[in-house]
């Protein structure tokens, strides 16, 4: 049980957004007149490596690359056809006790940084399956003004949900945002409750099942109803665990669709879980996620 809780905590730490200083912005497309650009946020692969090293230690995880090339390929570059090829890279990231996931990346061979770009892309995609950096996919399309060098004149401000807890802006009683220093969770106002958060907590009941939903409420807030949570700080803590549980259940359902039905029900039987909507506590959910990841890793590659 202690190990499964540690696994769940590690996965939650992987999902935490990167520090704002580690987030960079890429101009992914420009308008026809070149005055505006569509920007997307990203983090350097070193930030991903640092997070994995910090949580699991450098010896607690591995990555392995496989490189393939495809050629010849003809493509247009600056409106002229050129003969080139593609570099294809697959990265497999393994974390003992958590799971193994892979990601792929590709780049045109005539790019002088083709190998570096394809490797970085494959590594970050493999990490995103564990939850690390996955939040970058949640950003809406953003356009900004560009200078004469096609660089953004100003970069967007990261929303609160895309900041680590220590940097989040939280509401104060008069409604004005403030930037927290130190432990942001401890500075969240203690009342009144946020009705929006209450709705989000209650909305997770269907995905979690009644037993797990009640277990989180009782363990974290010592209440039986989301409307009885005593203050906003505990509200935020409950929501964090609810959302983590929803992600865990979604991962279980995704893997269940990929493995034989008999194997899935065998795992439930081994863990004494009658049905998926009757997972009794978070520790057992973490164990279920671990077992499902192990089952998926044994499946032959498509």
What domains lie within the chain, and their CATH numbers? 17-160 (3.30.390.80), 164-297 (no CATH)
- Which residues sit opposite 221 in a β-bridge? none
At residue 181, does pLDDT exceed 60?
Answer: no
Count CB-CB contacts under 10 A for residue 295: 19
Binning pLDDT at 50, 70 and 90, where does residue 137 land?
Answer: confident
Report the predicted TM-score, pTM, of the whole model to 2 decimal places: 0.57
Residue 170 has pLDDT above 70, yes or no: no
**Count of CB atoms situated within 10 Å of the CB of 19:** 13
Strand, coil or helix: 102:
strand
Res. 5: pLDDT tops 80: no
Q: How far apart are CA 28 and CA 37, in angstroms?
A: 7
- What's the rounded Cα separation, in Å, for the pair 245 and 214? 12
- Provide the token pair at 146: 């560009």
Query: Which pLDDT does position 54 carry in this prediction?
Result: 93
Instruction: Tell me the CA distances in angstroms from 115 to 40, 118, 125, one per residue in order.
Output: 22, 5, 15
CA 47 to mean position of chain CA atoms: 14
Q: Quick one: DSSP state of residue 163?
A: S
């Amino acid at each position: 049980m202690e190990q499964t809780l540690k696994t769940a905590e590690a996965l939650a730490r992987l999902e935490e957004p990167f520090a704002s200083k580690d987030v960079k912005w890429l101009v992914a497309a420009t308008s026809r007149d070149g005055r505006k650009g569509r920007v997307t946020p990203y983090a350097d692969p070193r930030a991903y490596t640092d997070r994995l090293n910090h949580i699991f230690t450098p010896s607690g995880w591995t990555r392995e690359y496989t490189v393939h090339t495809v050629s010849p390929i003809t493509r247009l570059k600056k409106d002229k056809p050129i003969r080139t090829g593609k570099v294809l890279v697959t990265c497999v990231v393994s974390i003992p006790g958590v799971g193994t996931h892979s990601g792929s990346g590709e780049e045109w061979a005539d790019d002088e940084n083709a190998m570096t770009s394809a490797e970085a892309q494959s590594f970050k995609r493999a990490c995103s399956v564990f939850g690390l950096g996955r939040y970058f996919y949640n950003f809406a399309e953003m356009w900004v003004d560009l200078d004469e060098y096609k660089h953004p004149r100003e970069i967007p401000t990261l929303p609160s949900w895309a900041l680590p807890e220590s940097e989040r802006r939280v509401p104060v009683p008069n409604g004005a945002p403030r930037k927290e220093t130190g432990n942001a969770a401890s500075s969240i106002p203690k009342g009144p409750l946020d009705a929006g958060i209450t709705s989000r907590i209650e909305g997770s009941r269907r995905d979690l099942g009644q037993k797990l939903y009640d277990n989180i409420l009782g363990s974290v807030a010592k209440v039986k109803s989301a409307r009885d949570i005593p203050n906003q700080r505990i509200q935020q803590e409950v929501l964090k665990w609810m959302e983590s549980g929803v992600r865990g259940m979604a991962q279980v359902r995704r893997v269940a669709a990929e493995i034989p039905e008999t194997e899935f029900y065998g795992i439930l039987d081994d863990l004494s879980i009658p049905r998926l909507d009757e997972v009794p506590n978070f520790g057992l959910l973490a164990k279920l996620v671990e077992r499902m990841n192990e089952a998926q890793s044994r499946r032959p590659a498509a």
